Amino acid sequence: MSKPPAERTEQLRADGSLRHLLTLDGLSRGMVESLLERAAHFSRPFNEPAARSTALRGTTVAIMFAEPSTRTRVSFELAALRLGADVVNIEVQLSSRRKGESVLDTVATLEAMHVDGLVLRDAEADVPDLVAAHVADHVSVFSGGAGSYSHPTQGLLDALTVLQHKGRVEGLRVAIVGDVRHSRVARSAWRAFSLLGAGEIRLLAPTALMPDTHDFAGCTRHDSLATGLTDCDVIMALRIQKERMTEADIPSEREYFAQWGLTIDRLKYARENAIVMHPQPMNRGVEIDSAVADGPQSVIRDQVRHGVAVRMAVLEQALVRQS
Ligand code: NCD
């Protein structure tokens, strides 16, 4: 379930520049920092107009998501449009993939229509790598989430959110809370925060939702909010991913909230100025109480805002050579 693709596709060009973004695993700290710096340049306060450029004029980006999405899909689309690219969305449920066409045949069709960038989301962890291994030299592939394995732009937007609120990731104590086992968001956040020098990354989950011991190297593991949240600077709550579970994994929502729900009272275990994150979609009253999600320590809306900025930085970095 958290298995990485059997064959990893090279993400960098021979000159070390970014061609595809499939995972944060293996990227250098310098590469991640330069993407975040560029994303910070594109990020604007809520009350200001969005950043725009014409860097991708003449470039075509296709977005093909085989799993539901609101934020990731829309923010990739807005990012491409605000850089001046043409954008097409392929409704997988309405496309020939429903008739049994293989993903590689669909991609070959898009290539014949001069698509330069492909953004993919799939329940199978290896689909973005597989496509990246087969596309023409001028085409770049971006993962918008692959199984439980990877969600690299989410990891970057989470890092940018921490940087903008805390000024650094270095040395911070981070708690990742909830369904860590099934979460590609947690895996990419762990990569990003580790690369940027987080002091401690804690996983807080009931046994059934804790990842296997070989996974998440270097993280500490906690079986209660009371011990796990103590002195944390950053709290990342995760959605219970019922779609990736068997019935047996899931306690009732009421039981889960009683033990693991992030409430105002439980937030007090963490540092007073701790920030609260959630990738959304949220199950209010299950993994997080509305008073926390909408409260003064929540940076959840900033995560969404930074999602567009990060995706602009990534698309620009990989595709600008084509234009
Ligand atoms: C997440 C995802 O799809 O991995 N959402 C997102 O992209 N912001 C998290 C989730 O579905 O729980």
Whether this model's pTM surpasses 0.85:
yes
Give the atom of ligand 1 at the shortest distance from the alpha carbon of 307: 8
3-state helix vs strand vs coil in the chain, percent to 5: 40, 15, 45
* Predicted pLDDT of residue 3: 65
Ligand 1 within 6 A of CB of 154: yes
Residue 15 C-alpha to ligand 1 middle, in angstroms?
A: 32
Residue 175 C-alpha to ligand 1 middle, in angstroms?
A: 18
Residue 14 C-alpha to ligand 1 middle, in angstroms?
A: 32
Domain definitions of the chain by residue range: 29-151+304-322, 154-299
Task: Report helix angle 152-166 to 300-319, nearest 10.
Answer: 120
**Torsion angle (degrees, nearest 10) of CA 18, 19, 25, 28:** -20
- The CATH class that applies to domain 154-299 reads alpha beta
Mutate to test the pocket of ligand 1, among 2, 65, 148, 185 (most ligand atoms within 8 A of CB): 185
* Predicted pLDDT of residue 322: 44
Number of H helices, E strands in the chain: 11, 9
Ligand 1 within 6 A of CB of 184: yes
- The CATH class that applies to domain 29-151+304-322 reads alpha beta
Give the atom of ligand 1 at the shortest distance from the alpha carbon of 185: 4
Q: Does residue 5 contact residue 141 with C-beta atoms inside 8 Å? A: no
Whether the domain at 29-151+304-322 and the domain at 154-299 fall into the same CATH topology: yes
Total Cβ atoms within 10 A of residue 261:
23
Per-residue pLDDT of the chain (323 residues; tens, 9 = 90+): 456 787 889 999 999 999 999 999 999 999 999 999 999 999 999 999 999 999 999 999 999 999 989 999 999 999 999 999 999 999 887 777 777 788 999 999 999 999 999 999 999 999 999 999 999 999 999 999 999 999 999 999 999 999 999 999 999 999 999 999 999 999 999 999 999 999 999 999 999 999 999 999 999 999 999 999 999 999 999 999 888 777 667 778 999 999 999 999 999 999 999 999 999 999 999 999 999 999 999 999 999 999 999 999 999 999 996 44
Ligand 1 within 6 A of CB of 134: no
Q: In one letter, which amino acid is 4?
A: P
* Predicted pLDDT of residue 251: 77
Ligand 1 within 6 A of CB of 280: yes
Residue 281 C-alpha to ligand 1 middle, in angstroms?
A: 7
